[in-house]
Amino acid sequence: MNFRKLRLFLLGIYFLLTFGSMEVYSKEILVAAAANIQYALQDIVDKFQKNSGITVKTVYNSSGKLTAQILNGAPFDIFLSADLKYPEILDSAGLAIRTPEIYAYGSLIIWTTKTLDFNMGFPSLLDRKINRIAIPNPNTAPYGKAAMQAINFYNVGEELHRKIVYGRNVTNVNQYVLSGAVDAGITAKSVVFYSEFSNIGNWIEIDPESYSPIAQAVVVLNHEKKDHIEDAMKFHNFIFSEDAKKILKAYGYNCE
């Protein structure tokens, strides 16, 4: 190989390593998501990655906590909130590239791993056998806010006050229930459709008339990584695809 060919070969390697790595970098997005959507979102991410070649990394927490992180500069590309309120806050702060959109509606359940009778519905939580009830923090988690609305709807707040244990988010509540640290938890319906939990304990759905609709919304965020926006929009659009809706419905969400 003469000097000219060697030079072209090395130059080719340089461009491959430099611009090839940049392309891989631009094909990775970071998604912040409310804890309730964790299991459904993983299935959605798996399907999206296979078809798009874009790597999706996820971070889960309560919607309020994630919003605070984004306002403080966290470099998320997309935010899937458990309600519309928090994405609207980010939109008002100039951190969204387009208006937030509702992608699904969530539901509340009472879930237990213990032998409890829920035949009386929500008032069953007044049973003396139930001493500890976990709910997500209503100040930062929309599902916790909805749980408090249901408690007030049934006018049992005074009786349940001493029983309530607050989890940071839906995932935290689920951990309390699964570990037996509480007798029951008010949590997202999606958890009992996750394969590893579907046959654990028993649950009842809480009357949706007892709380405001849990309108879950998604927003694409605007930050310094401008090269991520195109890929973020692809994932945003996939959330509204029939493939994603099928997954969401399988986890108990309403996508109508």
Q: What is the pLDDT along the chain (256 residues), one digit of tens a residue?
A: 565 555 555 545 544 554 454 444 448 999 999 999 999 999 999 999 998 989 999 999 999 999 999 999 999 999 999 999 999 999 999 999 989 999 999 999 999 999 898 989 999 999 999 999 999 999 999 999 999 999 999 999 999 999 999 999 999 999 999 999 999 999 999 999 999 998 899 999 999 999 999 999 999 998 666 678 899 999 999 999 999 999 999 999 999 7
Q: What is the dihedral of CA 151, 155, 156, 162, to 10 degrees?
A: 80
The pTM score is 0.85
Res 11: pLDDT = 47
Res 218: pLDDT = 97
CB 59 within 8 A of CB 66: yes
Instruction: Collect all residues with Cβ–Cβ distance below 8 Å to 179 and sequence separation of at least 6.
Output: none
Res 229: pLDDT = 87
b/e per residue, 16-32, with b = 16+ CB within 10 A?
eeeeeeeeeeebebbbb
CB 55 within 8 A of CB 29: yes
List the one residue out of 134, 158, 157, 138 whose CA is nearest residue 146. 138
Q: Which domains does the chain have, with CATH numbers?
A: 3-105+214-250 (3.40.190.10), 107-210 (3.40.190.10)
Res 7: pLDDT = 54
